[in-house]
Amino acid sequence: MEKEARYKSPDERGTLRQAKAKPVFDELEGWLKLQLPKISGKTKLAEAIRYALGRMPKARPYLENGQLRAT
């Protein structure tokens, strides 16, 4: 998606991210939230899921701001 957005204006990049990347973020976040209660909270997998869920709010501005670059 970022290859497609590379030479677009920030507004166009933001619109493209909202259309293509946001549904992926939303689906992943929902899936992670569903999986967490199914596994032992002491496992490395649970730790990784909690970490990913904790990072989601910090990643969301990428979806809304076309001026931010993906790294």
pLDDT for res 71: 64
pLDDT for res 4: 87
3-class DSSP state for residue 71? Answer: coil
pLDDT higher for 65 or 46? 46
pLDDT for res 69: 76
pLDDT in tens, 15-35: 999 999 999 999 999 999 999
pLDDT in tens, 38-54: 999 999 999 999 999 99
Rounded CA-CA distance 2/15 in Å is 12
Dihedral angle computed from the Cα positions of residues 36, 39, 40 and 42, in that order, rounded to the nearest 10 degrees: -50
Rounded CA-CA distance 36/47 in Å is 9
